[in-house]
Amino acid sequence: MRAFSRLFTFLLLGVSFSLAAPPKEHAYKTKEQISGPRGWIKHIEAPADHRLSLRIGLPQENFDLLEKQLYEVSDPMHERYGQHLSKEQVEALVAPHPDSLAAVNEWLAGFDITEEDLVRSPAKDWIILNIPVSLAEKMLDTKYYVWKHAKSGDELVRTTSYSLPSNLHHHVEVVQPTTIFGRFKPSKATFSILEDLGSVLGLHKGAHISSGSSAVAVDASCNTTITVSCLHQLYNAVGYVPSDTAENGIGVTGYLEQFANNQDLQSFYADQVPTALNSSFKFESVAGGLDDQNISHAGAEANLDVQFAFGITHPIPATFYSTPGSPPFNPDVHTPTDTNEPYADWLEYILGQEHPPYTISTSYGDDEQTIPLDYAKRVCDGFAQLGARGVSVLFSSGDGGVGDGDSDPATHECITNDGKNATRFIPTFPASCPYVTSVGGTEHIPEVAVSRFFSGGGFSDYFKRPLYQEIAVSKYLSKLPKGTYKGLYNPQGRGIPDVSAQGDRYRIFYRGRAASIGGTSASAPAFAGFVALLNDARLKIKKGPLGFLNPLLYTVGVAGLNDVTSGHNAGCGTQGFNASTGWDPVTGLGTPNFGKLKQIVTSPFIL
């Protein structure tokens, strides 16, 4: 302990690591081992000089205290509601113990790795190394291979097990990329170019129809084409004018070389939000992400996200984050482009910002089972840090119903990848993280669960049901006929989604042309837009941002949501779950009624 303390002191003073060899008495012991990943084929040995961006996660000593404070500042009935933590307060709570820092530092020194060779996260709970495969194999007592995905041809450099010295096991929670075989992807289900532009002009000059439970009149054309005006009508926000204040902000994340094109955005604004013409978003590069404005490289997913999130909220300051990485990976290119786990890069970046946007939407995800539990937990804990700082984090729930979405969700067999090859409903991550707000999809007016694809929903196998969901989810499960889908899902798991919004037939502009697009990747930025408007309403009366939404939504906030009671989310050869009165694992608690939610969150009874 005394040697570790001295080493830690030296590091604080900027002194390089000792180059002493690691103690021989600490034999290597397996830290993690998985079965051969389903759908992947071991291809060739990984090139020894291929470089990995290796991330080492150290235990966050006081995360339980952070979680406690997260729930206190997010509970509208708690006296601390809205009293969010500062960046420095959060970092202090998740910082690793000095003993962990010292033990890991000594281990790294045994491989001649100095402070100049690594990057530490702001809280020092992550260490990032850019090293060749040959060194990673020595450090982790493992062998890396190039693995090829049988269906897509995607390739990853991975291993199925790794080890650490026995004394490090309680000082290191996770090392990646090692055993993560995810195929990170956008939650987009449908897309088509609109050839006949004349048929969609003058959309909002016809008859009106009732929206159903919200008792709002909506243009009949919104049953076939969704625009910003449709969403304002349907979700009771017509006439609300947000402020252009630097205090508020809405952000959208972009991955997999999905570029948001400003020329398309201007066409979209001219078509649907003329007051926003000649305005744009702030671009922020994460880990070298590009801002490719060649219109032929515009991404349908990125355009959808920014056009609707920013169209709904103009003139609230808007930011687009570009994080690099594009499968299929070429293992012969000796750069660390195959991490396929960009949340860590983005979280490291955003948690390092003093003032991130108060609302952030992401329309990407992966099958929960492809993300190792320890890594999923660490990523999830990162979202908790954002929530504690007053940021609302929203994710699309996926488009595979209760399945994995890799093929026809109505017929695809859903198989576990734990070596047992059991049939199982496949939840989506990060939507399954209890510290984010998961958004499912609806369609038509009155609204029903979307049917051209199926709104991702179900129950997490990794995360237990949080207390804020207990009443709503237990009520739903109590109404299920006994034995329904027994063994196919975890009835004690965190329920997905939390809420929903329209998710099909969105009219966007893509590479200079009008297009129709759908998926819960449309629902998430739409719902996020109304959250940003709610933050604007609170800021106008000197209240703080909403932050982590779920404790509010599942209590007083439910009165400001439109319950969706029709539809289902087929998958895995089943009809999936049914939408019903109250919360359900298809549409969650329902869609937003901005007028009612605004009354709730600006009430003098809500701090």
How far is the C-alpha of 401 from the C-alpha of 405, rounded, in Å?
Answer: 7
Backbone angles phi, psi at 474, to 5 degrees: -60, -35
- Given the residues 521, 523, 536, 580, select the one marked as catalytic: 521
SS3 37: coil
| Annotation marks residue 305 as catalytic | yes
Choose among 117, 127, 132, 131: nearest CA to 173.
127
3-state secondary structure 277-306: CCCCCEEEECCCCCCCCCHHHECHHHHHHH
Whether residue 504 is annotated as binding a ligand: the answer is no
- Please give the distance of CA 510 from its chain centroid, rounded to a whole number: 24
> Would you state the structure tokens that stand for residue 25, as one six-digit string?
């008495």
Q: DSSP secondary-structure letter at 341?
A: -
Which residues are 156's β-sheet partners? 147
Q: How many residues does the chain have?
A: 607
Q: Do 403 and 351 touch, CB atoms closer than 8 A? A: no
Whether residue 458 is annotated as binding a ligand: the answer is no
- Beta strands 318-322; 250-254: pairing state: parallel
| Annotation marks residue 301 as catalytic | yes
Q: DSSP secondary-structure letter at 588?
A: B
How far is the C-alpha of 135 from the C-alpha of 492, rounded, in Å?
Answer: 42
How far is the C-alpha of 378 from the C-alpha of 364, rounded, in Å?
Answer: 18
CA angle 368, 370, 372 (to 5 degrees): 90
- Beta strands 493-496; 118-120: pairing state: unpaired
Please count the CA atoms within 13 angstroms of the CA of 174 that sit on its side-chain side: 20
- Given the residues 301, 348, 367, 404, select the one marked as catalytic: 301
How far is the C-alpha of 144 from the C-alpha of 45, rounded, in Å?
Answer: 7
Diameter of the chain measured on Cα atoms = 80
Residue where the block lists tokens 């003098």: 604
H/E element holding 202? Answer: none
- Beta strands 499-502; 437-443: pairing state: parallel
Q: Is 124 left (phi over 0), alpha (psi -120 to 50) or beta?
A: left
SS3 259: strand
How far is the C-alpha of 36 from the C-alpha of 418, rounded, in Å?
Answer: 8
Q: Do 559 and 582 touch, CB atoms closer than 8 A? A: no
Considering Cα of 142, then 145, then 150, then 151, what sign does the dihedral take? positive
| Annotation marks residue 521 as catalytic | yes
Whether residue 582 is annotated as binding a ligand: the answer is yes
Choose among 594, 589, 566: nearest CA to 579.
566
- Given the residues 305, 338, 447, 461, select the one marked as catalytic: 305
How far is the C-alpha of 189 from the C-alpha of 405, rounded, in Å?
Answer: 9
How far is the C-alpha of 246 from the C-alpha of 436, rounded, in Å?
Answer: 24
How far is the C-alpha of 125 from the C-alpha of 104, rounded, in Å?
Answer: 11
Which residues are 56's β-sheet partners? 127, 175
The binding site for Ca(2+) consists of 563-564, 582, 584
- Which residues have a catalytic role annotated? 301, 305, 521
The binding site consists of 563-564, 582, 584
